[in-house]
Structure 1
Amino acid sequence: MTTPTSRLPGPERSPGFLLWRVTLAWQRAMRAALAPHDLTHVQFVLLTTTWWFTRSGVPPTQRQLAEQAGTDTMMTSQVVRKLADRGLLARADDPADARAKRLEITPAGLELVAKALKDVEAADASFFVEVDDGFTDSLAKLSP
């Protein structure tokens, strides 16, 4: 029988374990912030990312949205369909590619993003109050 060994004294010194614990706590904070808006976190991310894209003047395709958000394309399609069914996003054929759909945020979607984004940013600020701007820079280095 092989006895496990570790270069670390315990999980409290493991970056991966700490990231796991922080992620779980942060996800709980996000769920709480989004609950009053009847949004899941992935719905919020896709809706808000669509808004960010649209601000540049070019509505994204579902594939572009998935790439920007880092989500699976099939899941993105399913979530976008639910958001469209709620009247928060509109899907239209892409004139340049018959297989693609362009996404636009609706007035109801804009209103919901305005409210939810305020609550999410407040929850983020509260959650990360103990860390400095260097933390965000470090996370950006790890982001694919």
Structure 2
Amino acid sequence: MSEGTRGMTPGYLVWRLSIKWRVAVDQALAPLHLTHAQYVVLSSLFGMERAGPLPSQRQLADHTGLEALYVSKLARSLESSGLVRRERDTADTRVVRLGLTADGHRTIGPAMRTVRALHDRLLAPLGGMDDLRTAALVRDLSTLLDTPLGPPA
């Protein structure tokens, strides 16, 4: 632990790391004209499309952890940029389904390679993506993320 972090709470450190990580991703993706939030939507859509039918905006919000209203705004912006298509569900017209356009598919590949290289660099102090320390970090963070919010049952 560095002298600068001694006495800081885990919550504060997680918050600071999330800000640092987001800024690093924003900077890495700037040449591709994408923000971190846009990347999260595009890369999630890429994975969700490969796994099955086009997800709804609600499913994408649940998958990403982003607010549904924010996903809606991001989807509209990405649609305007020609990267995402939005279409009404044929069975329930209240539901909006999302998918990548051809331009979205052409954009996400280089973006994912850029972010993967950034992750390799950011995780180098732990030994890299394939190190046991990184695996332990992923396991611990997953445990914290899987813990429900709210008062104890």
Assess same fold via TM > 0.5.
yes
Matched pairs, number: 135
**Greater relative contact order: 1 or 2 (C-alpha under 8 angstroms, separation 6 or more)?**
1
1:31 aligns with 2:31: no
Q: Residue 137 of structure 2 corresponds to which residue in structure 1?
A: 135
Identity of aligned residues (%): 34
- Cα deviation, 1:104-138, whole Å, max 9, x if unaligned, reads 11111011110111001111111012222111111
Alignment-derived partner of residue 47 in structure 2 = 52
Decide whether aligned partners of structure 1 residues 84 and 108 sit closer, same or farther in structure 2, where only a CA change above 3 A counts.
same
**Paired residues for 1:55-74 under 5 Å:** 55-74=50-69
Which range is displaced more, 44-53 or 127-136?
127-136
CA offsets 1:72-105 (integer angstroms, 9 cap, x no match): 1111101100001111011111112110111111
Amino acid at match of 2:51: S
Q: How does 1:1-144 map to 2 (within 5 A)?
A: 11-13=5-7, 14-131=9-126, 132=133, 133-144=135-146
Aligned-pair Cα RMSD in Å: 1.4
Tell me, in whole angstroms, the C-alpha distance in 2 between the residues paired with 1:68 and 1:21.
23
Deviations 1:49-69 (A, max 9, x none): 111110013110001001100
Deviation at 1:11, TM superposition (A): 4.9
Moved more, 64-73 or 15-24: 15-24
Give distance in 1, aligned partners of 2:14 and 2:23: 14
- Once residues 21 and 6 of structure 2 are traced to their aligned partners in structure 1, the CA distance between those partners, rounded to angstroms, is 17
| Deviations 1:21-68, CA, capped at 9 Å, x for gaps | 222221221111111111111111011111111001311000100110
In structure 2, stretches of 5+ residues that fail to align are 127-132, 147-153
Instruction: Mark the runs of 5 or more structure 1 residues left unpaired by the alignment.
Output: 1-9
